[in-house]
Structure 1
Amino acid sequence: MSGHGFHVHGPHDHELEHAAQHEPKGLAGQLAVITAILATVGAMFSYMGGATQANAGLYKNDAAIKKTEAANKWAYFQAKSGKQNLTEIAMDLAPTEEQKARYRSKIERYESEKNQIKAEAEKLEAESAEWDHKSAEQLHQHHRWAQATTALSVSIALAAIALLTKKRWMEVATIAMGLVGIALGGVAWFHL
């Protein structure tokens, strides 16, 4: 190339200029678009996978808190049972009917308190089981999102191999694996 406007270049330079001036066509252009779409969808799936994993952990934590509260209630129930048992022994050993009546009223109070405590403990256990169930559902959904993201990652890797080998059947494999990933994402979306 000279400074006087005269320009000489080889066939390779002509092809590069032509490719730069025109829209990408052929295998490379198709793979670039496919890869961009797969990467975008994969990023969304990855986000959803992380969100469901975080939710699973939070729900499991809530289940553990409710389980601990239930255990505390059951311990309180046992303490009331122990007091009731001691009061029953004291009633049996009481020398007068007046003392027996006083112990009998305490026993009735303990029984009433125990029934309330038992109901509260059972309610907390049910809430804990519900949180555990929600956690398991979120973890299952997380696995589906992770499978979808993995399939899309494999698809992007196949796109790179297709570009390097210039094999059309690899492009088909890229698209097929991408569709598998999108299908798995649909399964995750619909909680299947």
Structure 2
Amino acid sequence: MSGGGFHVHGPHDHELEHAAQHEPSGMAGQLAVITAILATVGAMFAYMGGATQANAGLYKNMAAIKKTEASNQWNFFQAKSTKQSLAEVSRDLSPVAADREKYQAKIDRYETEKKAIQAEAEKIEAESKDWDRKSDAQMHEHHRWAQATTALQIAIAMAAIALLTKKRWLEYAVIGVSAVGVALGGMAWFHI
């Protein structure tokens, strides 16, 4: 009420002015800040989860490419072995000594070539296994990021319920679940 230069506020008016002039306080303000932080951290965790999943797929693809290359080398090795076997049969069945020497030279050459091919195939197989290990590590890390993101999403949902029900214990549960999510994110960061 106003009159004669005096302005009198009712209790409701005073609370509205106080709320408009000050930052949110109490449970609602705390939950708003917590939710904003959780959403931000959760978005970063989700990004990292997606990146590690993409890396795992890329590494698995590289492993498959290397397995194919190794298979090609082993096929080449088998072809040289077949040629060597044919040269051995030809040498053993040849009545002419000069032909036997010619076939023996081929046999020796095939044996040398096979050793080089075998070494290359084994090297490529090792590379394939290395890519597989990298892929598995990225998938493990991806699962940690996904678990962390899920925990933070649960905490955000719990914050909404805490705000609606005005239960202080639920706010503490939000903080607890958030801590679990951040711990899982830390484990992902440190590759645990």
**TM-score relative to the length of structure 1:** 0.94
The whole-number CA distance in structure 2 between the counterparts of 1:115 and 1:10 is: 97
The whole-number CA distance in structure 1 between the counterparts of 2:163 and 2:113 is: 75
Matches within 5 A, 1:132-151: 132-151=132-151
Shift >6 Å, 4+ stretches: 5-10
Partner of 1:88: 88
Deviation of 1:54 after TM superposition, in Å, equals 0.7
Matches within 5 A, 1:104-143: 104-143=104-143
Deviation of 1:16 after TM superposition, in Å, equals 3.1
Deviation of 1:19 after TM superposition, in Å, equals 1.1
RMSD: 1.9
Deviations 1:94-126 (A, max 9, x none): 011111000000000000000000000000000
The whole-number CA distance in structure 1 between the counterparts of 2:9 and 2:143 is: 55
* CA shift in 2, pair 1:7/1:50, >3 Å: farther
Deviations 1:132-154 (A, max 9, x none): 00000000000000000000000
Partner of 2:32: 32
Partner of 1:20: 20
Partner of 2:59: 59
Deviations 1:151-190 (A, max 9, x none): 0000000100000000000000000000000000111111
Q: Secondary structure at the match of 2:95?
A: coil
Partner of 1:172: 172
User: How many positions carry a matched residue from both structures?
Assistant: 190
The whole-number CA distance in structure 2 between the counterparts of 1:121 and 1:104 is: 25
Partner of 1:181: 181
- Report sequence identity in percent: 73
**Unaligned runs of at least 5 residues, structure 1:** none
Deviation of 1:11 after TM superposition, in Å, equals 4.9
The whole-number CA distance in structure 1 between the counterparts of 2:186 and 2:101 is: 69
The whole-number CA distance in structure 2 between the counterparts of 1:32 and 1:60 is: 42
The whole-number CA distance in structure 1 between the counterparts of 2:84 and 2:156 is: 70
**Unaligned runs of at least 5 residues, structure 2:** none
Deviation of 1:23 after TM superposition, in Å, equals 1.1
